[in-house]
């Protein structure tokens, strides 16, 4: 499945790419301060599930949309009229919200994710952009950053740029819902997800993950090996993400124009023991 010569996923000789030609558009240029982050944000280019959103949806089967509505209503009582999902991935959450009559826009960094979402959910607008810099020129009732997208902000400066983007799309009553990793899953006696399963289809596979933790940089590095059921070569994909504790994120939100109004642990999926959600509103 990886290139038989160089064993990487991105090589144009990769037979998987050849079989899914509609998902092989150009990669964006990724620039980050930290040299190593190239490999991380090549997460999009290096993470099997980012490159193939159809497989992402087979591994992560639970939509967070109902939780977002529950959390939004706990603040506002009503449904949002408009929603922006940052790091919208395959687009499933926004498709669910659009079914409720909410006017939705999704922004994601990876073109494959955007193309997949546009193709599968044509009623929702999906745009390619980087949360550190995009500007849509409109404001939304609810802004979500789900599925640990915020953990791609590897250093404080990137996080603050992302929060500036969120503020630029907020009006005074906007509710921001952020789902970082629950860092307690990575420390102490708790374990992060060790196994990822593509349960069926042409690329049925099990991905076994190991993690390294850099205390100094507060980064986790994951190495995951995918073993396929149909005699395909193994694939290894890697990522780095920054871990944030809830109080730390609260500090950055408050420094960048928000008040954190609630922090909630929530049972969400089989892969993550407990998801963590922070709810914030603009402070002015």
Ligand X SMILES: C[S@@+](CC[C@H](N)C(=O)[O-])C[C@H]1O[C@@H](n2cnc3c(N)ncnc32)[C@H](O)[C@@H]1O
Residue 44 binds ligand X (CB under 6 A): yes
Residue 1: CB minimum distance to ligand X, A: 21
Q: Is 123 helix (H, G, I), strand (E, B) or coil?
A: coil
Residue 113 binds ligand X (CB under 6 A): yes
Q: Taking CA 30 as the corner, what is the angle to CA 162 and CA 154, rounded to the nearest 5 degrees? A: 45
Residue 237 binds ligand X (CB under 6 A): no
**Which CB, 139 or 161, lies closer to ligand X?**
161
Residue 87 binds ligand X (CB under 6 A): yes
User: Please, is 204 exposed, middle or buried when counting C-beta atoms within 10 Å of its C-beta (0-12, 13-18, 19+)?
Assistant: middle
**Which CB, 77 or 137, lies closer to ligand X?**
137
Candidates 89, 180, 207, 282; binder of ligand X (CB under 6 A) is 89
Do residues 143 and 166 lie in contact, with contact meaning Cβ atoms separated by under 8 Å?
yes
Crossing angle for the helix pair 92-99 and 65-76, to the nearest 10 degrees: 50
Residue 109 binds ligand X (CB under 6 A): yes
E-state strands within 60-204:
82-86, 103-108, 125-128, 140-145, 170-178, 195-198
Residue 277 binds ligand X (CB under 6 A): no
**Which CB, 232 or 238, lies closer to ligand X?**
238
**Which CB, 109 or 121, lies closer to ligand X?**
109
Residue 148 binds ligand X (CB under 6 A): yes
Which one of the spans 20-28, 103-111, 245-253, 271-279 is the region binding ligand X (CB under 6 A)?
103-111
> What per-residue string of b and e applies to 153-179 under the rule 16 or more CB within 10 Å gives b?
bbeeebbeebbebbbebbeeebbbbbb
d(CA 107, CA 130): 8
Residue 124 binds ligand X (CB under 6 A): no
Candidates 64, 241, 268, 281; binder of ligand X (CB under 6 A) is 64
Which one of the spans 109-117, 118-126, 207-215, 246-254 is the region binding ligand X (CB under 6 A)?
109-117
Residues 6 or more apart whose CB falls under 8 angstroms from that of 136 comprise 84, 105, 107, 127, 169
Residue 80 binds ligand X (CB under 6 A): no
d(CA 184, CA 243): 10
Residue 187: CB minimum distance to ligand X, A: 20
Residues that bind ligand X (CB under 6 A): 44, 50, 60, 64, 86-89, 108-110, 113, 130-132, 146-149, 152
């Amino acid at each position: 499945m990886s290139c038989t010569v160089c064993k990487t996923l991105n090589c144009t000789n990769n037979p998987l790419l050849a079989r899914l030609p509609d998902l092989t558009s150009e990669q964006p240029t990724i620039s980050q301060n930290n040299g190593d982050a190239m490999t991380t944000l090549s997460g999009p280019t290096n993470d099997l599930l980012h490159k193939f959103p159809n497989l992402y949806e087979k591994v992560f089967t639970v939509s967070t949309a109902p939780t977002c509505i529950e959390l939004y209503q706990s603040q506002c009582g009503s449904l949002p009229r408009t929603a922006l999902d940052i790091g919208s991935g395959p687009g499933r959450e926004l498709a669910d919200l659009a079914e409720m009559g909410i006017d939705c826009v999704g922004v994601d960094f990876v073109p494959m994710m955007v193309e997949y979402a546009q193709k599968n959910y044509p009623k929702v607008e999906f745009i390619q952009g980087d949360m550190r810099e995009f500007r849509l020129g409109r404001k939304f009732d609810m802004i979500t950053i789900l599925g640990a997208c915020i953990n791609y902000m590897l250093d404080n400066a990137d996080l603050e740029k992302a929060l500036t983007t969120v503020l630029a799309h907020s009006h005074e009553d906007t509710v921001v819902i952020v789902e970082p990793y629950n860092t307690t899953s990575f420390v102490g006696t708790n374990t992060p997800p060790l196994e990822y399963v593509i349960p069926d289809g042409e690329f049925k596979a099990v991905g076994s993950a190991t993690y390294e933790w850099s205390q100094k940089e507060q980064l986790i590095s994951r190495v995951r090996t995918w073993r396929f059921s149909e005699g395909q070569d193994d694939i290894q994909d890697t990522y780095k993400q920054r871990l944030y504790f809830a109080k730390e994120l609260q500090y950055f939100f408050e420094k960048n124009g928000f008040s954190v109004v609630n922090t909630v642990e929530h049972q969400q999926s089989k892969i993550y023991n407990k998801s963590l959600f922070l709810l914030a509103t603009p402070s002015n």
